Amino acid sequence: MAKDLFGICPFVTSQKILQGKWAILVLHELSQGTRRFNELERELGITHATLSSQLKSLEREGIVSRTVYAEVPPRVEYSLTEIGRKFESVLASIEAWGYDYIDFLHANRPTAS
Protein backbone atom coordinates (compact mmCIF):
# COMPACT_ATOMS: atom_id res chain seq x y z
CA MET A 1 0.00 0.00 0.00
CA ALA A 2 1.59 3.17 -1.26
CA LYS A 3 5.09 2.07 -0.43
CA ASP A 4 6.47 5.00 -2.36
CA LEU A 5 5.00 7.29 0.28
CA PHE A 6 7.15 6.00 3.10
CA GLY A 7 8.74 9.36 3.61
CA ILE A 8 10.27 11.17 6.49
CA CYS A 9 9.14 14.75 6.07
CA PRO A 10 5.43 15.07 6.90
CA PHE A 11 5.11 17.99 4.50
CA VAL A 12 6.54 16.10 1.56
CA THR A 13 4.36 13.11 2.32
CA SER A 14 1.24 15.22 2.67
CA GLN A 15 2.06 17.14 -0.46
CA LYS A 16 2.26 13.97 -2.52
CA ILE A 17 -1.28 13.12 -1.50
CA LEU A 18 -2.75 16.59 -1.91
CA GLN A 19 -0.98 17.49 -5.11
CA GLY A 20 -3.79 16.66 -7.50
CA LYS A 21 -6.43 19.15 -8.54
CA TRP A 22 -9.20 17.23 -6.81
CA ALA A 23 -7.80 15.51 -3.71
CA ILE A 24 -8.74 18.25 -1.26
CA LEU A 25 -12.18 18.68 -2.76
CA VAL A 26 -12.93 14.97 -2.72
CA LEU A 27 -11.73 14.63 0.85
CA HIS A 28 -13.83 17.56 1.93
CA GLU A 29 -16.89 16.06 0.31
CA LEU A 30 -16.29 12.72 2.02
CA SER A 31 -15.72 14.42 5.34
CA GLN A 32 -19.35 15.49 5.12
CA GLY A 33 -20.41 11.87 4.97
CA THR A 34 -20.49 8.76 2.82
CA ARG A 35 -20.93 9.43 -0.87
CA ARG A 36 -21.76 7.41 -3.92
CA PHE A 37 -19.72 7.67 -7.07
CA ASN A 38 -22.30 9.67 -8.98
CA GLU A 39 -22.93 11.98 -6.06
CA LEU A 40 -19.29 12.97 -6.02
CA GLU A 41 -19.28 13.35 -9.77
CA ARG A 42 -22.25 15.72 -9.72
CA GLU A 43 -21.37 17.71 -6.64
CA LEU A 44 -17.78 18.32 -7.67
CA GLY A 45 -18.25 18.75 -11.40
CA ILE A 46 -15.46 16.30 -12.08
CA THR A 47 -15.40 13.86 -14.98
CA HIS A 48 -15.89 10.25 -14.01
CA ALA A 49 -12.57 9.14 -15.45
CA THR A 50 -10.70 11.65 -13.33
CA LEU A 51 -12.82 10.94 -10.28
CA SER A 52 -12.26 7.24 -10.70
CA SER A 53 -8.50 7.54 -10.78
CA GLN A 54 -8.46 10.02 -7.91
CA LEU A 55 -10.56 7.72 -5.75
CA LYS A 56 -8.37 4.78 -6.65
CA SER A 57 -5.31 6.70 -5.51
CA LEU A 58 -6.89 7.70 -2.22
CA GLU A 59 -8.01 4.13 -1.69
CA ARG A 60 -4.52 2.78 -2.38
CA GLU A 61 -3.15 5.30 0.08
CA GLY A 62 -5.49 4.04 2.77
CA ILE A 63 -7.35 7.31 3.17
CA VAL A 64 -10.62 6.38 1.51
CA SER A 65 -12.55 3.14 1.79
CA ARG A 66 -14.71 1.71 -0.95
CA THR A 67 -17.77 -0.43 -0.29
CA VAL A 68 -19.50 -2.33 -3.06
CA TYR A 69 -23.10 -3.44 -2.61
CA ALA A 70 -24.20 -6.43 -4.68
CA GLU A 71 -27.35 -4.86 -5.99
CA VAL A 72 -28.95 -4.01 -9.28
CA PRO A 73 -28.22 -1.34 -10.20
CA PRO A 74 -24.80 -1.56 -8.55
CA ARG A 75 -24.07 0.76 -5.68
CA VAL A 76 -20.62 1.80 -4.50
CA GLU A 77 -20.06 4.00 -1.52
CA TYR A 78 -16.98 5.90 -0.50
CA SER A 79 -16.07 7.11 2.94
CA LEU A 80 -13.07 8.16 4.95
CA THR A 81 -11.00 5.60 6.80
CA GLU A 82 -9.76 6.27 10.29
CA ILE A 83 -6.61 8.02 9.10
CA GLY A 84 -8.78 9.80 6.58
CA ARG A 85 -11.03 11.14 9.30
CA LYS A 86 -8.00 12.50 11.06
CA PHE A 87 -7.46 14.61 7.98
CA GLU A 88 -10.60 16.56 8.79
CA SER A 89 -8.63 18.86 11.06
CA VAL A 90 -6.47 19.82 8.10
CA LEU A 91 -9.59 20.50 6.08
CA ALA A 92 -10.91 22.71 8.86
CA SER A 93 -7.67 24.72 8.84
CA ILE A 94 -7.74 25.04 5.09
CA GLU A 95 -11.34 26.19 5.19
CA ALA A 96 -10.65 28.81 7.85
CA TRP A 97 -7.62 30.15 6.03
CA GLY A 98 -9.46 30.09 2.72
CA TYR A 99 -12.11 32.40 4.13
CA ASP A 100 -9.45 34.68 5.58
CA TYR A 101 -7.67 34.75 2.27
CA ILE A 102 -10.82 35.52 0.30
CA ASP A 103 -11.50 38.39 2.69
CA PHE A 104 -7.94 39.54 2.22
CA LEU A 105 -8.33 39.52 -1.55
CA HIS A 106 -11.48 41.57 -1.39
CA ALA A 107 -9.93 44.03 1.03
CA ASN A 108 -6.98 44.55 -1.33
CA ARG A 109 -8.75 44.53 -4.63
CA PRO A 110 -7.52 47.19 -7.07
CA THR A 111 -10.85 48.83 -7.92
CA ALA A 112 -12.56 49.14 -4.57
CA SER A 113 -16.31 49.17 -5.11
Partner DNA sequence: CGGGATCCCGCCAGATACTG
Partner DNA sequence: CAGTATCTGGCGGGATCCCG
What three-state secondary structure class fits 78? strand
Site for DNA in 7-66 (CB under 7 A): 19-22, 36-39, 46-50, 52-56, 66
**Which lies closer to a second copy via its Cβ, residue 69 or residue 96?**
96
Tell me: does residue 95 bind a second copy (CB under 8 A): yes
Q: Are 35 and 77 in contact (CB under 8 A)?
A: yes
Q: To 10 degrees, what angle do helices 48-60 and 37-44 make?
A: 120
Instruction: List residues binding DNA (CB under 7 A).
Output: 19-22, 36-39, 46-50, 52-56, 66, 68, 73-76, 78
